[in-house]
Amino acid sequence: MLSRPEAAEYGAHYQEFIAKLPDGDIRELLRTQLKTTAELLQSLTEEQALFRYADGKWSLKEVLGHVTDVERVLSYRLLCIARGDRTPFPSMDEHLYVSAAKFDELPLTSLLEEFTAVRQATLALLAGLRPEAWLQQGTAAGCNTSVRALAYIIAGHELHHVRIIQERYLSAQP
């Protein structure tokens, strides 16, 4: 079984994401998250998916689009580092991505399909990694980052946003 990454394998700002993940196979956790997140959101109406719990906060559609975009970016970094590419990766401006994407104009079903496709691609990538690739390291957003840390960050980032969805969005819906 793949163990959790060491603190030296990721930036300190990711500690919260990794610490909140349950123990177990990270690949299985990512598979389970795909199912539970899709089930959580698929019954929402378009109106509910446009809900914002406060002024200046993202809609549920924007949160889902953000989670998908971040996974896509992190998976690309994971691929490159696993293949030995040592090119440093810059930070991403999450607000720029959400603003440019116009997620609120897309149907929720389309956003869920994209989330599913990106997660399935991540799972396929992870399934094909050789054991030694998981420990490969590179630089992302100015921090040393390992392949296994990126897999854990993807899962932890989603878990973080799903908890916010449950606590601040779904519980506040009329």
pLDDT for 174 equals: 65
pLDDT per position as a tens digit, 52-66? 999 999 999 999 999
Res. 172 pLDDT band, cuts 50 70 90: confident
- In sequence order, which residues have a C-beta less than 8 Å from that of residue 8 and are 6 or more positions away? 144
* Whole-number CA gyration radius for the chain: 16
pLDDT per position as a tens digit, 3-40? 999 999 999 999 999 999 999 999 999 999 999 999 99
Res. 1 pLDDT band, cuts 50 70 90: low
Average pLDDT score over the chain: 96
Compute the distance between CA of residue 10 and CA of residue 137 in angstroms, rounded to an integer. 9
Compute the distance between CA of residue 107 and CA of residue 110 in angstroms, rounded to an integer. 5
pLDDT for 2 equals: 82
Name the CATH architecture for the domain at 7-172: Up-down Bundle (1.20)
Model confidence, pTM: 0.96
* pLDDT above 90: residue 87: yes
pLDDT per position as a tens digit, 150-165? 999 999 999 999 999 9
Domains of the chain, residue spans: 7-172
